[in-house]
A and B are shown apart, each in its own frame.
Chain A
């Protein structure tokens, strides 16, 4: 079974500050995918990134960056120079890459609510 832990329930930062959202995962599978989703107040799930377990390179996309460390089973997400529009709940999720059952469902963490204060 898989498990995703997001220990930070809520974070508040002042606009332009950097913020890191933590994600720790557990799985017995050696190959898996990790995801981050953003859920704004409107409720939809917005895909941010998918990372293969074999690819430990950090990734940067604009103000967003992700740090994947297999040794600590962590996949942390940093927003640089935060903006009010970044206010949302952020979910980390995991799926295995092989399923004889024909299912690649995601296991989500409980989410971190980020509030960016102007």
Chain B
């Protein structure tokens, strides 16, 4: 069964550093998403990406964040100058549209 793959599964970084979270969506999917889940809280939408550009973003997704699809298979989330409050589980998802999105297993980011 096709799956969305995220790497790394856990990343620890120092405050102020930049991190890149990587995702390999399902190959024939056209819509890509990043979500964030702070520990013990709900899953929140960050950004969607379609047709090689951001299609929608939430208030959380400010200038600290950026996304890229550098090579047609990977989908990355870059967080610049990380803060303690960026510690969370980050989920990548992909879909064919309104079909049910497939979620990756998540990357747990810990900022120390």
Residues of A within 8 A of B (CB): 33, 35, 37, 43-45, 47, 50, 91, 93, 95, 97, 99, 101-111
Contacts and interface: CB of A to CB of B under 8 A. Distances in A.
Interface residues of B, number: 25
Interface of B: 31, 33, 35, 41-45, 48, 50-51, 55-56, 89, 91, 95, 97-98, 100-103, 105-106, 108
Given A108-B42, A108-B43, A45 B48 contact: no
A111 B89 CA distance: 15
Nearest to A93: B43
Contacts, number: 63
B101 A106 contact: yes
Given A43-B106, A106-B35, 13 more contacts: A45-B91, A91-B42, A101-B48, A103-B31, A104-B97, A104-B101, A105-B33, A105-B45, A105-B56, A106-B43, A106-B45, A108-B44, A109-B42
